[in-house]
Homo-oligomer: A and B are copies of this chain.
Amino acid sequence: MNEEAGAEPAKVGGDRPEAAIVTIGDELLSGVRADTNGPWLARRLSELGFAVGSTVAVGDDPERIGGALRRAVADADVVVATGGLGPTDDDRTRDAVARVWDLGLREDPDLMAEIRARFRSRGYHDAPRASRRMAQVPEGARILPNPAGSAPGLRLDLPADPGGPGERILILLPGIPTEVRALMDGPVEVALRDSFETRLAPASIRTIHTTGIPESALAGRIEALLDDVRGVEVAYRPSTHGVTIRLLARGPGAGERLERAAKLVEPVLAPYQYEARDGDLAAAVGRALNAAGLRIGVAESCTGGLVLKRLTDIPGSSGWVVGGVVAYADRIKEGWLDVPASVLSSRGAVSEPVARAMAEGIRRRFGVELGIGVTGIAGPGGGVEDKPVGTVWFGIAGPRGTHAEKVWFQGGRSEVRERAAQHVLHLVLRSVEAPGRADRIRTSDSRGG
C-alpha cells in the first residue's frame, strides 16, 4: 500500500462481501510446508471483489477444524477452506463440518462411480477402500467437479450460526495447490460471481512484470512519479524471476486512475517490462518468436536444461523450439557444438568465446535462426577469483551476428540458475522484438538480477 499516493486503506468490510480462508493440515502447523493456498486464495478473492478478513491455518484435529470453520462462517459471507478432503484417516474436514452443522454424511453414487472408473483406468481391480472416504459428502452439499485431480470441491449453504437461517457459503477444497487453483478458477468463481455479483467491488488491476531491476530501485523510481495520482495502491511482489508490480484501484473512475498511473510509470519500466499471462517470460518469448517466424535452439551448460524446460513449459512450443544440447561436460561442448578445444583450455569453459561458439554451434548444427549459449558457474564450488560463483556468459547467435554478455548473479546454486535462465529469455525477447538492440547492450560486466 502506498500511503503517499493516498491509497484507499484495505479496510475490511465496507460494502464489499466479506471472505475468510481456512487452511487445514498438520503440515501447515509443523512448519514442514509453507501454506501457499492461503495467500493465493487471499489474492484471488480480493481481486474478485471480496474483502478478505482473515486466514486461519489449523491442524487435522476435527475439533479445531470445526471451531475454525464455525467462527469463519459466523464472520464472513463466504468461507473457502482447503485440505482434509483426501482419502486417509487424517482427512477430517467432512466429519468436522457434519458435526458442527449437524449434517449426515452420505456416499454420493456418481462420485463413487467416478473414483472407481479412475482407479480401473489405471489398472487397479477396484478403488481401494480408503478412497471411498472421498465419495462421502455432507447432506445438502453440492459437488464442484475437480478439473485437476480426484477429490472434488464441495459447496454448502449454511446459516451464520448453526440452526439459524441460511446466508453463508462454505466452499471446501482439497489441499493440493494445483487443484485449489483449478477449482477456484473454474466452478468456484462461477458460483461466487453468481451469488454476489451485485455486491462485488472488483478491483481494477494492472499487473506489470519486470525483470533485471531490484525491488528497492524500482520502488524509489516509481513512487515519486505516482505522487499526484490518488486512490491507486502499488504493491511489489519480488521473486527469483524479477519483480511484479500491481497497481490497484476500486470504485468510480478506477479504470481511469489506473490508466493515468500506468502511463506515468511506463517510461521508467519499459526496459525491464514484459507482457505475459501469469508472468511467465517464456510465454512472451514464444509469442515473439512465433510472430517473427523464428525457431530457436539452445546450448546450455550451467543451467543444465532449465532454459529448454522453461521454453517447453509453454503449450505449443514445438512450433518454435527445435530442441537443444545440454553440454555439461566439456567434451560435449567440443564434439557436439564445435567449441575449439584450444579455446576451452586457454580461456576456460566460462568465457566469452565459449558462449559465442556454443550459440553459433547450436544454430548451425540444429539449422535454426536463433542459437543460444549459456555457460557459467552455478556453484556452490568452482568459483575462482576472476570468475566467482554466479558468473555466467551468454551468447545469442542470429542472422545479424552474435552478441555475448557476462552477468554476475547473486544467490545460491538454484537462484543463479533461475536468474540466468530468466536473463537469457529476456535477452531473446529484446533481440526478437527489436532486432539489433541486443547488440547495443554492453558486453562488459553487467548487473545481476
Contact = CB atoms under 8 A, between A and B. Distances in A.
Interface of A: 1-4, 9-12, 26-36, 38-44, 46, 52-61, 63-64, 68, 71, 86-90, 121-124, 128-131, 134, 148-149, 176, 178, 182, 215-217, 219-220, 223, 234-240, 246, 298, 300, 303-309, 311-313, 315-318, 321-329, 331-332, 366, 379-381, 408, 410-415, 417, 445-448
User: Lowest 3 CB-CB distances: which A-B pairs, in order?
Assistant: A31-B43, A304-B312, A305-B308
Contacts of A4: 89
B216 A87 contact: yes
A448 B122 contact: yes
A53 to B, nearest CB: 6
Given A90-B235, A308-B304, A54 B39 contact: no
A35 B39 contact: yes
B42 A29 contact: yes
Contact of A323 (B238, B240, B327): B327
Q: How many copies does the complex hold?
A: 2
A55 B26 contact: no
Nearest to A321: B328
Contacts of A60: 1, 10, 235
A307 B326 CA distance: 11
Contacts of A122: 408, 447-448
A304 B332 contact: no
B322 A215 contact: no
A36 B34 contact: yes
A54 B55 contact: no
B42 A31 contact: yes
Given A30-B43, A32-B236, A128-B220, A61 B9 contact: yes
Nearest to A239: B176
A40 B31 contact: yes
Contact of A322 (B56, B124, B328, B445): B328
Contacts of A56: 54-57
B33 A39 contact: yes
A69 to B, nearest CB: 12
Given A10-B26, A322-B332, 11 more contacts: A27-B235, A31-B41, A34-B35, A35-B35, A53-B59, A90-B236, A123-B447, A305-B324, A308-B308, A315-B413, A322-B328
Nearest to A134: B216
A103 B215 CA distance: 27
Contacts of A237: 27, 32-33
B408 A447 contact: no
Contacts of A446: 123
Given A1-B89, A89-B3, A318 B309 contact: no
B52 A29 contact: yes
Contacts of A411: 148-149, 178
Contact of A54 (B12, B64, B332): B64
A42 B34 CA distance: 10
Contacts of A27: 1, 235, 237, 246
A319 to B, nearest CB: 10
A11 B178 contact: no
Q: Which of A313, A323, A379, A446 has the most CB of B within 10 A?
A: A323
Nearest to A121: B408
Contacts of A52: 29-30, 59
B32 A235 contact: yes
A322 B219 CA distance: 43
Contacts of A33: 39, 237
B64 A12 contact: yes
Contacts of A149: 410-411
Given A61-B12, A64-B12, A326 B328 contact: no
A131 B42 CA distance: 30
B216 A88 contact: yes
A448 B448 CA distance: 41
B216 A130 contact: yes
B312 A328 contact: yes
A54 B31 contact: no
Contact of A128 (B42, B68, B216, B234): B216
Given A59-B53, A148-B412, A411-B148, A326 B329 contact: no
